[in-house]
């Protein structure tokens, strides 16, 4: 039996790959390609086929800009793309990086399409996310024909020719991504110009008053788990951070500002460990600034992935908690999944339930769906099908495809029993 590499090499013998397609727009990405680095030849073939047919792909390392952080680039690309295609092989099944990418895509509400090139039993981490999605089987050659089928299926979804219930909307986003609202572009451009003028006037005015006065960041106390209000004092210039040392800072607003600056300042070496320590100095007080909340989540990913820092799950979990408490609800969902599946940490149904409940309390579709699954299966509690149906219904009302599927299955089962 041919190996995957032999199958691909034979299939591509008379074909020339071109994975640098300059004519396709860099913005408005369509598909994120997730794969193990050991299967880059397959990823090249998929990207070549897609982009020669007008589907713009993102995949590493080609689309990571020089100097751009790996975790940040992956996170941003997943949020920008409409579809997530996983090239499933023995290598990707064992890859921690691939598992993390799948988790990010799931928690961002993306449509997942596994492209199956192996019959190997899925790892527990991948199984949690992929057991209910539609797989495209490409185990048997010809491989190029399977790639073409993958492209055609992906294109149907991108063009809206798949029924609406097959798509998942990201209910954690303030704005709905990937919706063609071209009429907004000139309006947004005009607003940006006006905002720039206003900022210039404001800066000049502040210089006349007090050139050292810091920009305030609004924070709230407690951990209510609610979404933040869009547009609240978002930091756009890390250089505005206080020049004093962390030991001298007592105001929680300035602590958040200083930590954010250390994490994101591109003019000097990023000091992630220091940023973490300062974030922790804020104690139970949380920020209402969505940009800082997301930054804490991203720093948590770094510590859990060991990206530019020493792997430390305790630090990553603390940052996820603070990000979730500050309104970045995907952090709650990721924590719930980690404890539910025992992904990198000890399995703990009680903690998984707690984080999914926090997410569900904000009417997050993913959190509601995952919580429903726990009630249905009786994970950490007695099974409660009625409660599961109630939660699936709430998630389905938020346009979650998987929730609609499970709701239909459970209601049909109940009707059969009756």
Which CATH number goes with the domain that contains 268? Answer: 1.25.40
Same domain, 237 and 129: no
DSSP state, residue 116: E
Same domain, 157 and 231: no
d(CA 255, CA 282): 7
Structural domain boundaries, residue 73 = 4-162
Same domain, 78 and 152: yes
In a domain, 202, yes or no: no
Q: What is the pLDDT of residue 414?
A: 62
d(CA 372, CA 323): 23
* Long-range own/partner contacts, residues 341-345 (CB < 8 A, 24 or more apart): 341/124, 341/125, 341/128, 342/124, 343/99, 343/103, 343/124, 343/125, 344/96, 344/304, 344/313, 345/313, 345/317
- 409: part of which helix (H) or strand (E)? helix 401-417
Same domain, 157 and 229: no
Q: Which of 222, 175, 216, 226 lies closest to 328, judged by CA?
A: 226
In a domain, 395, yes or no: no
Contacts of residue 196, Cβ cutoff 8 Å, sequence gap at least 6: none
Residue 321: CA count within 13 A, CB half-sphere = 19
Residue 72: CA count within 13 A, CB half-sphere = 12
Same domain, 103 and 8: yes
Taking only the tens of pLDDT, the chain with its 418 residues reads 455 555 555 555 544 444 454 444 445 689 999 999 899 989 999 999 999 889 999 998 888 887 777 888 888 899 889 899 999 999 999 888 888 889 888 888 888 999 999 888 888 778 878 877 778 888 887 888 899 999 999 998 888 766 443 333 333 333 233 334 444 455 566 566 566 666 666 655 555 544 444 434 334 433 333 344 333 333 333 444 444 455 555 688 889 999 998 888 755 667 899 999 999 999 999 998 999 999 999 999 889 888 788 999 999 999 999 999 999 999 999 999 889 888 778 989 999 999 999 999 999 999 999 999 999 999 989 999 999 999 999 999 998 888 888 888 888 766 555 5
In a domain, 226, yes or no: yes
- With contact defined as beta carbons under 8 Å apart, do 217 and 257 qualify? yes
Structure token pair of residue 196: 């720039």
CA distances from 335 to 302, 313, 320, 404 (A): 15, 11, 7, 24
d(CA 401, CA 165): 5
d(CA 54, CA 109): 24
In a domain, 196, yes or no: no
Q: What is the pLDDT of residue 135?
A: 80
Q: Which of 48, 74, 76, 46 lies closest to 61, judged by CA?
A: 74
Same domain, 136 and 252: no
Same domain, 242 and 128: no
Same domain, 107 and 254: no
Contacts of residue 316, Cβ cutoff 8 Å, sequence gap at least 6: 300, 301, 302, 303, 304
Only one residue has tokens 């050659």, namely: 141
In a domain, 262, yes or no: yes
CATH classification of the domain holding 140: 3.40.50.10140
Name the domain count of the chain: 2
Q: What is the pLDDT of residue 248?
A: 54
Same domain, 13 and 139: yes
| CA 308 to mean position of chain CA atoms | 19
Same domain, 10 and 156: yes
């Amino acid at each position: 039996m041919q190996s995957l590499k032999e199958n691909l090499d034979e299939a591509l013998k008379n074909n020339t790959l071109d994975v640098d397609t300059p004519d396709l727009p860099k913005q408005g990405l369509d598909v994120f390609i997730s794969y193990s680095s050991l299967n880059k030849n397959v990823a090249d073939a998929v990207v070549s086929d897609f982009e020669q047919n007008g589907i713009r792909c993102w995949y590493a390392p080609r689309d990571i800009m020089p100097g751009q952080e790996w975790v940040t680039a992956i996170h941003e690309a997943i949020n920008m793309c409409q579809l997530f295609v996983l090239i499933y092989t023995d290598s990707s099944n064992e890859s921690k990086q691939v598992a993390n990418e799948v988790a990010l895509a799931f928690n961002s509400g993306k449509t997942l399409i596994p492209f199956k090139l192996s019959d190997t039993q899925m790892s527990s981490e991948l199984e949690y996310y992929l057991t209910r999605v539609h797989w495209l089987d490409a185990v048997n050659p010809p491989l190029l024909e399977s790639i073409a089928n993958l492209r055609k299926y992906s294109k149907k979804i991108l063009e809206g020719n798949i029924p609406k219930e097959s798509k998942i909307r990201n209910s954690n986003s303030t704005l709905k991504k990937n919706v063609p609202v071209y009429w907004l572009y000139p309006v947004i451009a005009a607003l940006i110009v006006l905002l720039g003028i206003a900022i210039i006037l404001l800066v000049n005015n502040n210089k006349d008053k007090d050139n050292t006065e810091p920009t305030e960041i609004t924070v709230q106390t407690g951990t209510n788990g609610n979404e933040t209000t869009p547009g609240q004092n978002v930091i756009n210039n890390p250089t505005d951070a206080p020049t004093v040392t962390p030991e001298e800072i007592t105001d929680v607003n300035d602590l958040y500002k200083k930590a954010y600056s250390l994490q994101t300042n591109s003019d000097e070496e990023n000091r992630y460990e220091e940023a973490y320590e300062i974030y922790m100095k804020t104690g139970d007080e949380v920020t209402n600034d969505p940009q800082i909340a997301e930054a804490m989540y991203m720093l948590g990913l770094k510590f859990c992935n060991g990206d530019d820092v020493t792997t430390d799950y305790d630090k990553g979990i603390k940052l996820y908690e603070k990000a979730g408490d500050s309104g970045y609800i995907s952090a709650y969902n990721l924590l719930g999944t980690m404890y539910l599946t025992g992904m990198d940490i000890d399995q703990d149904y009680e903690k998984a339930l707690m984080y999914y409940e926090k997410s569900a309390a904000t009417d997050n579709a993913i959190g509601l769906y995952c919580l429903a699954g726990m009630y249905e299966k009786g994970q950490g509690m007695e099974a409660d099908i009625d409660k599961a149906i109630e939660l699936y219904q709430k998630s389905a009302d938020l346009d979650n495809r998987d929730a609609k599927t499970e709701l239909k299955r459970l209601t049909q089962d109940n009707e059969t029993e009756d």
